[in-house]
């Protein structure tokens, strides 16, 4: 009976690893020619995705989203502000995306990540243009007081498709958001009601008598794809993004309406057929993400 050659297997693994490091594009193209990726996924399949609500106890709404190893933590804090004269009956949303050095070896301490402001702008534009949130629901007293929702998203692990995971965490945080109780004090100012006073008789007149949730509509979800030659790779890892540089991000809402299409350069042109294929992949991905969101919300209600 033959004995397995452990040294031979180890040598073979080292050769494959060396080839991958020295010729990464050729290594990936060998897999693509067989319609498979190094992580064993088919080209059009996204990584395993999870969503947890209420990840930050001190926030008014929060969520932890994971797509593969890519991990995002989103938290919302609500503050009372004076609405603008142009929109006296509307509140506002401010979004900041953070990439601390722990999220990736390419992010250096003391140096802001180049991708952070770009993703912040993408998130703001997407949430605004989708119509997911009716800003009038954030109004308290017309022309005098409204809510400012500060949404901060922290990238804990940057392993590709950062915008997709950030958007999912933002949607989760707004789904979990509970708008706090506020009242008018003797000076006519809006003040937050503390947890200790919650549910007891208030001396001041409450503006909203109980915590409430926002009504979310046309919820946006996204899918980032890589275009490489005639191949389309859904939900790329950081390694795939660094090797094959042409990215396309499609955002659809829960009714499959196109919210945005984003292609930040790259050597490959986005032909009509490729765009249609990306939209088709996104349409299926939206269904999967909506199911994950619904199941997560249902789980919170049961608990």
When pLDDT is averaged across residues 101-109 and rounded to a whole number, the result is 91
Under 8 Å between Cβ of 209 and 181: yes
Q: What is the mean pLDDT of residues 257-263?
A: 95
CA distances from 15 to 18, 21, 46 (A): 5, 10, 29
E strands, the chain, in order: 49-53, 61-67, 70-81, 92-98, 139-141, 145-157, 182-184, 190-192, 205-208, 220-228, 231-234, 247-253, 258-262
Q: Provide CB contacts within 8 A for 301, sequence distance 6+.
A: none
pLDDT at 27: 87
Q: How many residues does the chain have?
A: 303
pLDDT at 179 over 50: yes
Residues 47-61, mean pLDDT to the nearest whole number: 96
**138-166: average pLDDT:** 94
Is the distance from CB of 70 to CB of 162 less than 8 angstroms? yes
Residue 195 pLDDT more than 90? no
- In this prediction, residues 188-198 reach a mean pLDDT of 61
Between 39 and 8, residue with greater pLDDT: 39
pLDDT at residue 182, as a whole number:
80
Instruction: Output the pLDDT for position 21.
Output: 81
pLDDT, residue 147, reads 93
Q: What is the pTM of this model?
A: 0.88
**pLDDT at residue 202 tops 90:** no
DSSP per-residue codes, 81-121: EPPPSSSTT--EEEEEEE--GGG-TTSPTTS--THHHHHHH
Share of the chain above pLDDT 90, in %: 64
Contacts of 24 (CB under 8 A, 6+ apart): 239, 243
Strand partners, 192: 182
Give every CB contact of residue 84 below 8 A, 6+ residues apart in sequence. Answer: 90, 92
Residues 6 or more apart whose CB falls under 8 angstroms from that of 136 comprise: 89, 90, 91
Query: Candidates 3.40.640.10, 3.30.230.70, 1.10.1040.10, 3.30.930.10; correct CATH number of 40-178+213-302?
Result: 3.30.230.70
Q: What is the mean pLDDT of residues 32-37?
A: 91
Q: Compare 46 and 208 and report the one with higher pLDDT.
A: 46
Of residues 153 and 30, more confidence is placed in 153
What is the average pLDDT value for the chain, to the nearest integer?
88
Does the pLDDT value for residue 98 go beyond 90? yes
User: What φ, ψ does residue 221 adopt, rounded to 5°?
Assistant: -135, 155
Residue 130 CA to residue 88 CA, distance in Å, equals 21
Other Cβ atoms less than 10 A from the Cβ of 236: the count is 24
pLDDT exceeds cutoff 50 at 257: yes
Provide the pLDDT for residue 200: 47
Asked whether the predicted pLDDT for residue 2 surpasses 80, the reply is no
Residue 131 pLDDT exceeds 50? yes
Q: Specify whether the CB–CB gap between 43 and 234 falls below 8 A.
A: yes
Range from 27-31, 208-212, 213-217 carrying the lowest mean pLDDT: 208-212
pLDDT classification of 287: cutoffs 50, 70, 90: very high
Q: Residue 301 phi/psi, 5° resolution? A: -65, -35
- Res. 10: pLDDT tops 60: no
Checking if the pLDDT of 3 tops 90, the result is no
């Amino acid at each position: 009976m033959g004995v397995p050659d452990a040294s031979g297997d180890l040598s073979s693994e080292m050769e494959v690893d060396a080839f991958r490091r020295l010729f990464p594009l050729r290594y990936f193209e060998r897999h693509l020619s067989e319609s498979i990726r190094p992580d064993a996924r088919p080209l059009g399949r996204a990584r395993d995705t999870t969503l947890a609500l209420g990840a930050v106890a001190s926030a008014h709404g929060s969520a932890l989203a994971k797509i593969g190893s890519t991990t995002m933590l989103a938290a919302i804090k609500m503050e009372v502000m004076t609405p603008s004269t142009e929109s006296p009956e509307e509140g506002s949303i401010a979004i900041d995306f953070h990439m601390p050095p722990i999220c990736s070896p390419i992010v250096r301490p003391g140096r802001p990540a180049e991708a952070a402001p770009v993703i912040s702008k993408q998130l703001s534009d997407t949430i605004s243009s989708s119509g997911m949130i009716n800003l009038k629901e954030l109004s308290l007293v017309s022309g005098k007081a409204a809510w400012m929702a500060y949404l901060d998203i922290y990238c804990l692990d940057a392993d590709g498709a950062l915008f997709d995971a950030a958007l999912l965490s933002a949607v989760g945080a707004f789904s979990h958001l509970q708008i706090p109780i506020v009242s008018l004090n003797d000076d006519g100012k809006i003040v937050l009601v503390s947890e200790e006073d919650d549910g007891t008789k208030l001396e001041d007149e409450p503006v909203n008598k109980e915590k409430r949730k926002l009504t979310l509509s046309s919820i946006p979800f996204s899918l980032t794809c890589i275009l490489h030659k005639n191949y389309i790779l859904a939900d790329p890892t950081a390694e795939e993004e660094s090797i094959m540089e042409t990215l396309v991000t499609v955002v659809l809402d829960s009714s499959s309406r196109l919210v945005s299409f984003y292609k930040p350069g790259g050597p490959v042109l986005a032909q009509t057929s490729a765009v249609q294929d990306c939209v088709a992949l996104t349409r299926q991905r939206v269904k999967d993400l909506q199911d994950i969101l619904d199941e997560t919300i249902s789980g919170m209600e049961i608990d």
